[in-house]
Amino acid sequence: MIIVTGAAGFIGSCLIQKLNELNFNYIIAVDDFSFEEKNKNLIGKKIKERVERTQFFAWLDSNFREVEFIFHIGARTDTTEFDKAIFDDLNVNYSKEIWNRCVEYQIPLVYASSAATYGLGELGYDDDESKIPGLKPLNPYGDSKNDFDIWALQQEKKPFFWAGLKFFNVYGPNEYHKGRMASVIWHAFRQINEKGSLNLFRSHRPDYGDGEQMRDFIYVKDLIDVCIFFMEHRKNSGIYNLGTGIARSFNDLGKSTFAAMGKEAVINYIDTPIDIRDKYQYFTEANMTKLRQIGFTQPFHTLEDGVKDYVQNYLLKKAYW
């Protein structure tokens, strides 16, 4: 029995699909299932039981003996939400409850952290756990993820295996429901479809050209492969970066999307909105040495290959994974 929280969401539903493909069908899906658009991500997937997020701890207390592994992917991920209480409730305290039960019931745990913890990258993008207390996230979402990472590292009692994964810029199928918070590739595809052109943010720094701001974009299928690796590996507990280790520009992303759609690139540059301009990251790149050193050797999709698969096999077909 494998539990996936955030099961109906983008990454959670992709994880369930991969588990099904590997013949893990005894899946307990935990989420708030009141959002019909999000529930479409679960159509056709093999799930033993759906458990409402608010009922999960009572359910786990009754069924823990059967649980083999917990993937805690569920979280409030809206970087434009500034009500700290929401994040304390859903991201920090809920995660602590899961952690404490994994300790008590001896259940291994993988949970989603975020590269949002790195803020503007003043301390770099190394998953060195000694640097985590000094990180300065830029919003309450990033704060909540960092707060939990710090708390987890401070605990004397830990699950016998646990890993926190700092997701960088994830893109891929099953994010139709995310709206403003969907990946740049999803937004680019929609813009190109509707207007035949793509708007990217102009640079407001002299050391970067327009559209040359860089991010570590990781295809969700690669991210899921790392989650599965940890489920099977079950040693080397700790907090790990999860990106590709190679930063790419938004111009590269735009051109890749046009190419995957078979269209000529037409890119325009618009001013970065004033309300986010001073908090806008110009560069992120995961140091992936730590994950490689414990034995994950699989190559990651290039941006071009990942975008091509996403656009041609999912977005153009309105398909789910």
Q: Is 234 annotated as a binding residue?
A: no
Token pair, residue 213, equals 């701001």
Measured CA to CA, the distance from residue 294 to residue 305 in angstroms comes to 26
Q: Is 38 annotated as a binding residue?
A: yes
Q: Is 11 annotated as a binding residue?
A: yes
Contacts of residue 23, defined as CB under 8 A and 6 or more positions apart, other chains included, come to none
Measured CA to CA, the distance from residue 114 to residue 123 in angstroms comes to 15
Q: Is 207 annotated as a binding residue?
A: no
Measured CA to CA, the distance from residue 147 to residue 132 in angstroms comes to 9
Q: Is 202 annotated as a binding residue?
A: yes
Q: Could you tell me if 241 and 166 are in contact, meaning their C-beta atoms sit under 8 angstroms apart?
A: yes
Q: Is 180 annotated as a binding residue?
A: yes
140-154 and 94-105 helices cross at what angle (nearest 10)? 20
Of 240, 253, 145, 241, which Cα lies nearest the Cα of 189? Answer: 253
Q: Is 167 annotated as a binding residue?
A: no
Q: Is 10 annotated as a binding residue?
A: yes
Q: Is 294 annotated as a binding residue?
A: no
Measured CA to CA, the distance from residue 51 to residue 56 in angstroms comes to 6
Catalytic residue among 18, 136, 178, 263: 178
Distance in angstroms between the alpha carbons of the first and the last residue of the chain? 21
Q: Is 215 annotated as a binding residue?
A: yes
Known catalytic residue: 141? yes
Contacts of residue 180, defined as CB under 8 A and 6 or more positions apart, other chains included, come to 80
Q: Is 244 annotated as a binding residue?
A: no
> What single string gives the DSSP state of each residue in 25-50?
--EEEEE-TT-HHHHGGGTT---SEE
Q: Is 201 annotated as a binding residue?
A: yes
What is the per-residue burial (b if ≥16 Cβ within 10 Å, else e) of 129-156? beebeebebbbbbbbbbbbbbeebeeee
Q: Is 251 annotated as a binding residue?
A: no
Known catalytic residue: 310? no
Q: Is 270 annotated as a binding residue?
A: no
Q: Is 50 annotated as a binding residue?
A: no
Catalytic residue among 94, 111, 118, 141: 141
Count of Cβ atoms closer than 10 Å to residue 55 Cβ: 10
Identify the bridge partners of residue 277 per DSSP, sorted by sequence position: none
Q: Is 286 annotated as a binding residue?
A: no
DSSP reduced 3-state for 114: strand
Q: Is 76 annotated as a binding residue?
A: yes
Q: Is 74 annotated as a binding residue?
A: yes
Which residue positions form the known binding site for substrate?
169, 180, 187, 201-204, 215, 280
Catalytic residues: 141, 178
Cite the annotated binding site by residue number: 10-11, 31-32, 38, 53, 73-77, 145, 169-170, 178, 180, 187, 201-204, 215, 280
Q: From the annotation, which residues make up the binding site for NADP(+)?
A: 10-11, 31-32, 38, 53, 73-77, 145, 170, 178
